[in-house]
Structure 1
């Protein structure tokens, strides 16, 4: 039994090492959220087993939990670099599949069609507004900047305000609000499925997204010209790496000890 107990320990330590390595590898990934491996002990016994004699049979990985604490904010000066200051996620929709994603990485740009997107064909979702920024509906839509305004003037620039208003500027000096950034929150963000590229998707564990305006109630405000960096603490991860390595070595030593005991028994002579 000790062989299998220690073997499970080796597998658990390897999982822990993999999670920590993933955190370290993404220490410079904008919007990345670190994860932590949670373990649970395993015991086995029947109703007829003396509770004082029940022996543990090892540990198992109970969960790999994500930590959604705020990462450091870096000033970039780019108008379409936006960080969420507080709770919530940007919402994007894939122009290729129509899938909806949620992200804390606010590094956006404008494509040839005037859509504000994340570089992977995922378009930023906004509340529809009138030209002055008043929200006119709750159905989200793609953030798209018209190439010219009603007067025929060409597009000159875009800004994102703290309240989420996306304002397009034109060569004739006029400004038009094309939408208000929608912030999505979840009852259980830890239940979100990681999709890569700092994107998550909703699951039954996370619940459906609830949308609101930036800076309103529980929804975080926006910081324009800034990006949220990874929330990975390298020093903390390196300490965890050493602990996981020692755990792996200890379980390997336990297997070695069990092997020596078995060999001793086999070599017994009557």
Structure 2
């Protein structure tokens, strides 16, 4: 009977693998998406007192589903508030209601009616506080990126630009411009420990460690590009090969169950 359970484990594992691959393929065009892969480990049935020469396995189990944070291609958009990181790190956004901070590689930033720099879900982009010239006041903490709709002289906002070093400048109708902050980049000791929560966002966990905020291009923080977005790092050709492999694995385990059924039926027939 162990043959049935061994093959059943194989079917479940292949189904999990197929699900992960399907998720990757479905997000091949999702901005900032990072693909995943299924890792397996074998299962042994004998205890420590058993003869190691007689040890047999009872199949495999899913040991982990690893995220691949390799860089996706950068696509030029020409929009000043489309941001991309060429290297490690994440943009940080804060939910104004729950005060929770999430992390993303999707740098599609918007300005709401109050002047807040937000992602598509309304979470506020985190920046370092600067003076009006763009000099960072402190990197000990981050603040919400807010663009004043009018400046001190009463001139209306004309546009927002982000420099390569991450400084966000607000330009006004009277020809003046002021820095409102410098984009903060979050790095983690173990990015694979981040928890994916959908919408190309991640949460920090005990496995990932706490975020370490840096200036763009400093230390492990990637270089910032304005007017570009990072595409998904899914390679469709690679995923299709993996899909075929997972399908063959599923079929092989199903065949093993069929063979075990035939053997059992033969033994039953012998007794009759």
TM range (shorter): over 0.9
Provide, for residues 172-194 of structure 1, a one-character-per-residue CA deviation record: whole Å limited to 9, x for no partner: 11110000000000000000000
Q: CA RMSD for the aligned pairs?
A: 0.8
Is residue 30–residue 229 contact of structure 1 (8 Å, CA) maintained in 2?
yes
* C-alpha contact 1:96 1:121 (8 A) present in aligned 2: no
Which of these residues, 220, 228, 231, is aligned with residue 229 of structure 1? 231
Partner in structure 1 of residue 53 of structure 2 = 52
Distance 2:255 2:202 in 1: 39
Is contact 1:132–1:177 with CA below 8 Å preserved after alignment?
yes
C-alpha distance after superposition, 1:212-253 (max 9, x if no partner): 100112211111000000000000000000000000000000
Match of 1:126 in 2: 127
Q: Quote the residue 1:245 is aligned against.
A: 247
1:135 is matched with: 136
Cα offsets for 1:106-165 (capped at 9, x unmatched): 001101110011120111000000001111122211100001111111100001111010
**2:107 alignment partner, SS class:** coil
Q: Which runs of 5+ in 1 are unaligned?
A: none
* Equivalent in the alignment of 1:108: 109
Q: Secondary structure at the match of 1:9?
A: helix
Distance 2:27 2:230 in 1: 13
Aligned twin of 2:268 = 266
Contact map agreement 1:183 1:213 (CA 8 A) in 2: yes
In the other structure, the counterpart of 2:85 is 84
Q: Kindly indicate whether the alpha-carbon contact (under 8 Å) linking 1:92 and 1:123 is maintained by their aligned counterparts in 2.
A: yes
CA deviations 1:60-102 (Å, max 9, x no partner) are 0000000000001000000100000111000000123211000
Asked if structure 2 preserves the Cα contact closer than 8 Å seen for 1:166 and 1:180, the reply is yes
1:12 aligns with 2:10: no
> Aligned match of 1:200 in 189, 199, 202?
202
Offset at residue 48 of structure 1 (A): 2.7
Q: Which runs of 4+ in 1 moved over 4 A?
A: none
Please list every run of 5 or more consecutive structure 2 residues that lacks an aligned counterpart in the other structure: none
SS in 2 for 1:148: coil
Q: Say which SS state the counterpart of residue 243 (structure 2) adopts.
A: helix
Tell me the matched-pair count. Answer: 270
- Tell me, yes or no, if structure 1 residue 160 matches structure 2 residue 162: yes
| Alignment counterpart, residue 190 of structure 2, candidates 163, 184, 188 | 188
Is the 1:125–1:140 contact (alpha carbons within 8 Å) kept by the matching residues of 2?
yes
